[in-house]
Amino acid sequence: MSKKQVFIDYVAQLFDESHDDIPEDAWDYWKALLAEKSTEKPQFTDNGKVILKFLKDNVQIETWKSKDIAEGIGISSRGVSASARKLVNDGYIDKVGQDPVFYVLTEKGKEVIFED
């Protein structure tokens, strides 16, 4: 579930509990917000998906540097670092250390199933 959907569900519960106390302008804005078409972001960026697949296919090695991932998938190490940031934020990989930085596949990352 997206963060936006979690927010909408939370506010909907608040509105349901105190519907009579909500000003008409706020209620109108809420209905307009719900009517907006949501454009969900993909779960993974293209590079993020490739990185995650690479790590899953190479679980025999537990920690990876950006440079090594980059060489394995054919993109720059900067591209790996940028794409890995979202994977870290979403809990699919962990960032370990600082100089150098290593990436480790999390349990959540190991459980991802790609449908190709």
Put simply, whether the predicted model's pTM sits higher than 0.95 gets the answer no
SS3 assignment, position 94: strand
CATH number of 46-111: 1.10.10.10
C-alpha distance from residue 13 to each of 30, 40, 70, 80, 91 (Å)? 12, 22, 45, 40, 27
* 90-82-1 Cα angle (round to 5): 20
SS3 assignment, position 63: strand
Could you read off the pLDDT of 1-44 as tens digits, one per residue? 677 778 888 888 887 776 677 788 887 887 887 777 666 667 88
Say if residue 72's pLDDT is above 80: yes
Could you read off the pLDDT of 41-65 as tens digits, one per residue? 678 889 999 999 999 999 899 999 9
The full set of domain ranges for the chain reads 3-35, 46-111
